[in-house]
Amino acid sequence: MVACGDDHMPKLEGMTPGTSGRLTAGLLLLAALAAPAAAEKTDLILVTNGNQILGEVKSLERGKLQVSTDFMGTVRMDWQQIARIESKLWFEVEVRSGALHFGHLAETDEDRVLIVEGEDEQAARLPFDEILFIHQTEIGRVGKIDASISLGFSFNQASDVTQLSFDGEFSRRTRRFVSDIGLLAIVNDTGDESFSREDLTYTITRHLPRRWAWDASATGQTNEELGLESRWLVRGSALYRAVRTNIRELYLGAGLAASREEYTGVLDSGETNLEGTLGLRYFAFHFDDPELEVNIDLTLYPSLTSWGRLRMELRADLRRELVDDLFWGFSVYESYDSDPVGEDARNNDLTLTASLGWKY
């Protein structure tokens, strides 16, 4: 061991010995604080070929285990190539039956088996083939956060139409709930006139055992193409997970919604409506290079206060990963109203967008 006092420290120009000493102490303190931070990645991942990796397990989604390491950064590993996982961090683990388990990932001598030990529940022995998702929970005070942002621009010289689009999605996952905020803004300019559409939605979802879940949302909308000045909507529904695997999900839902609408140029158009809701959400994922995602979200709103009126909201997305966290997207948005308010109001608004996006 080599001792190193002030006489052995390099002198910095313009600094007094006292200042240099305080700087040295500060550097030593920073080094001491940095040491435990570097030691946090202590999760053990054993690969089927016998290799061992030290890192921090982030999640398992779509058949890929995401691990943060000091020497390779964040990597995604094929779930079929993982033999064992050990971690002192807290996780939420979901299996094919829909059951959720919470706890840390305990040591085991069995390959392809996960032992989840919680504070108040008996340790669960879960075969790898039964596990669909693993998520860290209770990270700080905010939970696990995912985000994606995409921007689109197109110009058609023949028709002199310019389109701008922004689509942002932010998701926060805690031990019991998933909260989502979605913002969509689309502007179409034909040179003579322009039409815009804006949607802002907040949704909270609670997953229940045995394939069931419920969600509630609040939405604000405008759509100049349909003459819709504003729509405020609150909705609640029950969801059934008809299909949920590592690469495919299908949800079916039904519920109730209440809305208040105001239309441009229509006096006394503001009225409160009660509607039923019938929904379908489909998600498919292809994780071989290139990664592809398909999302379809369809909701029907049969009116309970204006019999015969039916509204529909459809969104379909195709995303292709270009490089890590950067993707190209193509989206279809369709809004339909069988009985729009106003003589000149259209029944539907169909929009196609291509965009470049980033996800976190």
Same fold for the domain at 43-136 and the one at 144-359? Answer: no
Distance CA 124, CA 127 (A): 10
* Chain center to CA of 283: 13
Kindly indicate the confidence band of residue 29, based on its pLDDT and cuts at 50, 70 and 90. Answer: very low
Q: What is the pLDDT of residue 268?
A: 63
Homologous superfamily (CATH) for 144-359: monomeric porin ompg (2.40.160.40)
Highest averaged pLDDT of the listed ranges 11-25, 106-120, 342-356: 106-120
Q: What is the pLDDT of residue 157?
A: 66
Kindly indicate the confidence band of residue 346, based on its pLDDT and cuts at 50, 70 and 90. Answer: confident
Q: pLDDT by residue (tens digit) across 199-235?
A: 999 999 998 877 889 999 999 999 988 888 899 999 9
Burial class (CB in 10 A: 0-12, 13-18, 19+), 99: middle
Q: What is the pLDDT of residue 137?
A: 77
pLDDT over threshold 60, residue 325:
yes
What tokens appear for 342 in the block? Answer: 């106003």
Tell me the CA distances in angstroms from 144 to 90, 170, 172, 176, one per residue in order: 12, 11, 6, 12
Kindly indicate the confidence band of residue 342, based on its pLDDT and cuts at 50, 70 and 90. Answer: low
Candidates 281, 230, 237; CA nearest to 260 is 230
Q: What is the pLDDT of residue 313?
A: 96
**64-68, 79-83, 153-157, 265-269: range with lowest mean pLDDT:** 265-269
Highest averaged pLDDT of the listed ranges 6-15, 281-290, 326-335: 326-335
Residue with the larger pLDDT of the pair 238 and 321: 238
Domain ranges of the chain: 43-136, 144-359
- DSSP state for residue 72 in the 8-state scheme: T
Candidates 76, 104, 106; CA nearest to 91 is 104
Q: pLDDT by residue (tens digit) across 284-301?
A: 988 777 789 999 999 999
Kindly indicate the confidence band of residue 135, based on its pLDDT and cuts at 50, 70 and 90. Answer: confident
Fold of 43-136: SH3 type barrels. (2.30.30)
Mean residue pLDDT of the chain comes to 83
